Amino acid sequence: MAHPSTPHLPLTLLSDDERAFADMIYQYAKEKFGPLVSKMDEESKLDPCVLPSLFKDLGVMGVEIPEEHGGAGASFMMATLAVESLARVDPSVAVVVDVQNTLVNNALVRWCNDEQKARVLPKMASEWVGSYALSEPSSGSDAFALKCRADRVEGGWRLNGTKLWITNGGESTLFIVMANTDFSKGYKGITSFLVQRGAPGFTVGKKEDKLGIRASSTTELIFEDCFVPDADVLGEVGKGYKIAIETLNEGRIGIGAQMLGLAQGAFDYAMAFMLERKQFGRPIAEFQGLSFQYAQVATELEAARLMVYNAARLKDLGRPFVKEAAMAKLYASQVAESAASMCLEFIGGVGFTKEYPLEKLYRDAKIGKIYEGTSNMQLDTIAKLLRAEYTR
């Protein structure tokens, strides 16, 4: 069964330009990537057309990169909309764009010096995929328990250690790598480095075989006396923790957008199916047992959209957004999992087969509660900020 046509995005909180942008991304993705989604999931890799399309046709790999460096010079909100719109078709493609913009490019635009910007940003906007390498076997939620070390040598640093669960690792040319330059200082020894694929001593290791978002590569990175020159230190030595914290706060909004788009894609499909499918002489969408349930799903979707968009707007305005980002990521991931599950049930037994897209979206949804900060970590962040607000 072909993916049915879907209604336009709701008008909620979008300008005409933003709405047109989101709709353009979605329509392109549905036509170009839609027919490839099942194959990419089965083969656990992106089709060769995907990255050129994202860079050249859509121009969504450098949304916030300034125009003087070849990017679109647009807002964080526009990057959020790009991720959401792509996720309605394939969350695997969406996360490629999400990590590129909300993590990697955001860090580069904010922390690169002028020489680094001139050297790196035009490539990121036109051809390089990027990865954000923080997680390790011993540091997941405890993000600063890093064992990857950087030792001072003449002209630069030697990196040794392993990174795990690195999104885009299979496609990336540039990696932002966190390593500790002085373990006696704890997290204040952490420093960020720019490492290119092919650097001596740097190997991209095994690719994970995952439950969902299978076309998105998740890999191991191995550093064995990998030399990084001083010119490729990102920001200041010992300030990598600051880069990590600030970037991950923004990244949570991107994951919220991915989960929102996933849930919307599942809902679009289920609604079209329920309006077509007849039992007892009428469309199943008319039965109260279903209609109350999909009305509830639609309400939760709208609430998640408001939260994600609000967090993105706050970020663009330069106002505090950490609590709102954590809430948006937490809630959107909950809605994605529940919506995908309900929508699969709405279409009945066929939803449990790989011939229909909902079983894939159901599998894809699970990661939303795990990566870029588990749901428990979001709750911990929210609780800390609430205590601070109420004790001022």
Instruction: Tell me which residues are annotated as active site.
Output: 372
CA distances from 221 to 30, 203, 224, 304, 372 (A): 33, 6, 10, 34, 18
- 252: which 2 tokens? 């949570």
Query: Helix, strand, or coil here: 322?
Result: helix
Give 111-143 as a DSSP string.
Answer: H--HHHHHHHHHHHHHT--EEEE--BTTBSSST
Q: How far apart are CA 176 and CA 103, in angstroms?
A: 9
State the residue for tokens 């849930």.
263
Q: How far apart are CA 177 and CA 390, in angstroms?
A: 37
- 192: which 2 tokens? 């960020």
| β-bridge partners, 152 | 157
Side chain identity at 372, as an amino acid letter? E
Q: How far apart are CA 259 and CA 98, in angstroms?
A: 11
Query: Which secondary structure element, helix H or strand E, spans residue 383, and what is its range?
Result: helix 375-390
